[in-house]
Amino acid sequence: MKRKLLFSAATGTATAALTAALLTVPSPAMAAYVQITPPAGNVTASTDDGNVAGNVVDDNYTSRWSGFGDGAWLQLDLGGTKLVSHIKVAVHFGTERRNDFELQVYNGSAWVTVYDGRSSGTTTGLQVFDFTDMQGSRVRYVGHGYYNLDGTFGKFWNSITEVEIWGEGTPPTSSPTPSPTGGNCPYPADVLNLTNWKVTLPIGSSGSPTEIKQPALDTYSIDPWFKVNGACNGVQFRSAVNGVTTSGSSYPRSELREMTSNGTANAAWSSTSGTHTMVIRQAITNLPSTKPHVVAGQIHDSSDDVTVFRLEGSSLYVTNGDTTHHKLVTSNYVLGTVFEAKFVVSGGQIRAYYNGVLQTTISKSFSGGYFKSGAYTQANCTNSSPCSSTNYGQVIVYSVTVTHA
């Protein structure tokens, strides 16, 4: 249930008249929103013990932010004023303690407290805190320590593993927000159907990156380059700027390549014969510094890429060969926003769709065609700093389907 907010002129903050609804799954009303969580560079904290603020947006439930003290805070800058609907928080040792905290949204003139209470003490996963929709540019978690499950006060440690901010509009029905699947999912093949794929990774020897094919791919995972995300509903593809590249490229990738015959042979189809379709539901979650470019989904022919979805900062494009800015899809992409990318190839034409809406039709006649999905980072150590594994592009793929007719 949404709760009413009462503004306090004396303190310049607002407090809630009712306890916010604490949910473990989104309500139907929440399904109309998209994730607007900022990247790690927009996350700061008043203090930490070496477990830094950016850890709460790395989609890794084994890392955390920890800050000691009553009133220690974590802040997420949304990069501008946005509609904020609800906030999700995952608590470190969430089944052993109940964090005592406030959630606040900055409305341009004051911090509004939208939740003041404790976590459930029943899960280490994301808990949903729902409140009246409001415009805000920053979100804060203000910690007051934790309580033991028997109700006694523990310590003034404030530790959380993940935070998600949701709001800013209605996604199309063709691209619903992913929900946790639950169950056991140690391998990417437990989440995605990888029967007719192989994966190329940003590791290995120079000019010869590691490739994993079927049947080994069914039971393969490597952290952090190719693994199931913490919610068990998507696969994380990460490619650092210092990664190994193929002989034909100067950029690293963690990317699926379409195969056939149960993964034993390379797919190779013609744009002028049959209909070839790929649909990816995904979110680009991190960009390399200096040159913040990542490719997330592409069509290749026998020699080069034909068209791709390419993110440069907040601008998402569909390319046409070497024309990288062929079609601007959106100039306001927010990292972590789930979207549907779709290619349909037939009759010598490629139709590219974003969230079900046709963006461009490209006339191309080619053979040796195949699809690719994952994170193809368009930066390396010559144009992006630091030259390390901490500087990377990342994509979470929630589903990818390919059909040929």
Cα separation, 49 vs 223, whole angstroms:
24
Report strand pairing: 65-68 vs 370-377: unpaired
On the question of pLDDT at 87 being above 80, the answer is yes
Q: How many domains does the chain have?
A: 2
Q: Which pLDDT does position 58 carry in this prediction?
A: 87
- pLDDT interval class at 214 (50, 70, 90): very high
User: Which 3 state secondary structure label does DSSP give 57?
Assistant: helix
Q: What is the mean pLDDT of residues 248-255?
A: 94
Provide the mean pLDDT of the chain. 88
pTM above 0.85, yes or no: no
Q: Which pLDDT does position 54 carry in this prediction?
A: 93
Looking at the DSSP bridge assignments, the partners of residue 402 are: 278
Same domain? 194 vs 154: no
Domain that holds residue 38: 5-167
On the question of pLDDT at 172 being above 60, the answer is no
Same domain? 239 vs 270: yes
Q: Which pLDDT does position 178 carry in this prediction?
A: 56
Instruction: Collect all residues with Cβ–Cβ distance below 8 Å to 334 and sequence separation of at least 6.
Output: 35, 36, 38, 79, 168, 314
Same domain? 233 vs 269: yes
- pLDDT interval class at 21 (50, 70, 90): very low
Residue that has been written with the tokens 């034993």 in this structure: 264
Domain with 159 in it: what CATH number?
Answer: 2.60.120.260
On the question of pLDDT at 69 being above 90, the answer is yes
Cα separation, 27 vs 25, whole angstroms:
7
On the question of pLDDT at 113 being above 60, the answer is yes
Same domain? 83 vs 202: no
Which of 167, 200, 219 marks a domain boundary? 167
User: Which 3 state secondary structure label does DSSP give 188?
Assistant: helix
Cβ(246)–Cβ(207) below 8 Å: yes
On the question of pLDDT at 249 being above 80, the answer is yes
Instruction: Collect all residues with Cβ–Cβ distance below 8 Å to 234 and sequence separation of at least 6.
Output: 178, 191, 228, 282, 283, 396, 397, 398
For residue 302, being part of any structural domain is answered with yes
**How confident is the model over 301-343, as pLDDT tens digits?**
999 999 999 999 999 999 999 999 999 999 999 999 989 999 9
User: Which 3 state secondary structure label does DSSP give 30?
Assistant: helix
Phi/psi class of residue 46: alpha, beta or left (left: φ > 0; alpha: ψ in -120 to 50)? alpha
Domain with 332 in it: what CATH number?
Answer: 2.60.120.200
- pLDDT interval class at 149 (50, 70, 90): very high
Report strand pairing: 392-404 vs 275-286: antiparallel
- pLDDT interval class at 32 (50, 70, 90): low
Cα separation, 375 vs 187, whole angstroms:
18
Same domain? 163 vs 211: no
On the question of pLDDT at 181 being above 70, the answer is no
Cα separation, 363 vs 281, whole angstroms:
25
Q: What percent of the chain has pLDDT over 90?
A: 75
Same domain? 158 vs 275: no
Same domain? 12 vs 124: yes
